[in-house]
Amino acid sequence: MTLGADAVEPDIVATKDGVLVLRHENEISGTTDVAAHPEFASRRTTKRIDGVSLTGWFTEDFTWAELSTLRAVERLPQLRQGSASFDGMQGILRLDELLDLLDHVAEHTGRIIQLVAEIKHPTHFASIGLPLDDLLDHALGRWNRPDRLIVECFEQNILMQLKGRGIEARYVYLLESKGSAPDLVASFGRKALPYSAQLTSAGLARLARDVDGVSVDKNMLLSVTDNTVTTTDLVDRVHAAGLTAYTWTLRPENRFLAPPHRVGKAPRDWGDWRREFDLILSTGVDGIFVDQPDLGVTARDGL
């Protein structure tokens, strides 16, 4: 969410017949009940996605008609047993269905919810004949409003392609704490510029020529020394370059908190999430991504 408004952030991937669907990744064994469908057993395979070898079932090997028979499941059932109790109750959404839902909310309540569209694995999809810039151009055309639409990705090329197509949005470049962007690796191999080099003052100045903001791993905003957690100057440097700063993903469970903020030993137990959320917000970050929106709203309203 941006701190002055609420937003929804769908992760977007494609089917073999070019339908844009909402899944955390294109590998869906962890977010659907596909493994329980014997008719799809032969689709299980191993692929290399953005340099990582993954075994499972992939959206690009299914038509939308086939994917629509699957049901959604909790991705982290060991940590979120309450959420897992809803497994199987809902199907998979298409992007156009989400846009219709948001339009309906706006029409009937007057409440505008921003769409933060995260594009997943565009270099991979382009390599198999599913160019996401083309598919998204058609899907997002009616949302050509920078006040409602943010487009983000871990690859800058797709952002520039959509910008070149005239999609009016705010463009946000996602950066990991290590490694390099998949599109740069595809072009330059081991010589690809690392994310860390793109977060130097010079790197941020270069990014500011093309994008509106950056979004980074929340751990890049925190510094842990002994039993003390402080904040870094990254948000200040991002702002100095004229960019908007976002961060991901804020979660309350011990597994995801900085060690000094953990309470007890069980990874699924909630630690001192409020302390961590407040520290992150104190950096002046412009927006946060959070799994439990109510906790994010509570922290935001406490500013």
Q: Where are the domains of the chain?
A: 34-84, 214-303
At 111, the pLDDT band (50, 70, 90 cuts) reads: confident
Q: Which residue has the higher pLDDT, 82 or 12?
A: 12
Distances (CA, A) of 164 to 17, 54, 79: 24, 32, 42
Q: Are strands 213-217 and 170-175 parallel, antiparallel or unpaired?
A: parallel
8 contacts: CB under 8 Å, gap ≥ 6: 98, 102, 113, 114, 115, 116
For 254-286, the pLDDT digits (tens) are 999 999 999 999 999 999 999 999 999 999 999
What is the pLDDT at residue 143?
80
Radius of gyration of the chain (CA): 19
Q: What DSSP designation does 109 have? A: H
Region 80-85 average pLDDT = 90
Q: Residue 248: enclosing H or E segment and its boundaries?
A: strand 244-250
Q: Are strands 287-290 and 244-250 parallel, antiparallel or unpaired?
A: parallel
Distance CA 57, CA 76 (A): 18
| pLDDT above 60 for 4 | no
Give the type of residue at 55: T
What is the pLDDT at residue 268?
95
> pTM score, two decimals?
0.94
Region 151-163 average pLDDT = 97
What is the pLDDT at residue 97?
96
The b/e string for 120-153 (b: 16+ C-beta within 10 A; e otherwise) is bbbbbbbeeebbbbebbbebbeebeeeebbbbbb
Distances (CA, A) of 125 to 147, 150, 275: 28, 21, 40
What is the pLDDT at residue 2?
56
Q: Which residue has the higher pLDDT, 79 or 19?
A: 19
| pLDDT above 60 for 136 | yes
What is the pLDDT at residue 1?
53
Among the residue ranges 80-84, 193-197, 253-257, 262-266, the one predicted with the least confidence is 80-84
Distance CA 169, CA 150 (A): 5
For 231-240, the pLDDT digits (tens) are 999 999 999 9
Region 36-61 average pLDDT = 97
- Percent of the chain whose pLDDT exceeds 70: 98
Judge contact between 30 and 72, C-beta under 8 A.
no
The b/e string for 101-112 (b: 16+ C-beta within 10 A; e otherwise) is ebeeeeeeeeee
| pLDDT above 60 for 3 | no
At 7, the pLDDT band (50, 70, 90 cuts) reads: confident
What is the pLDDT at residue 18?
97
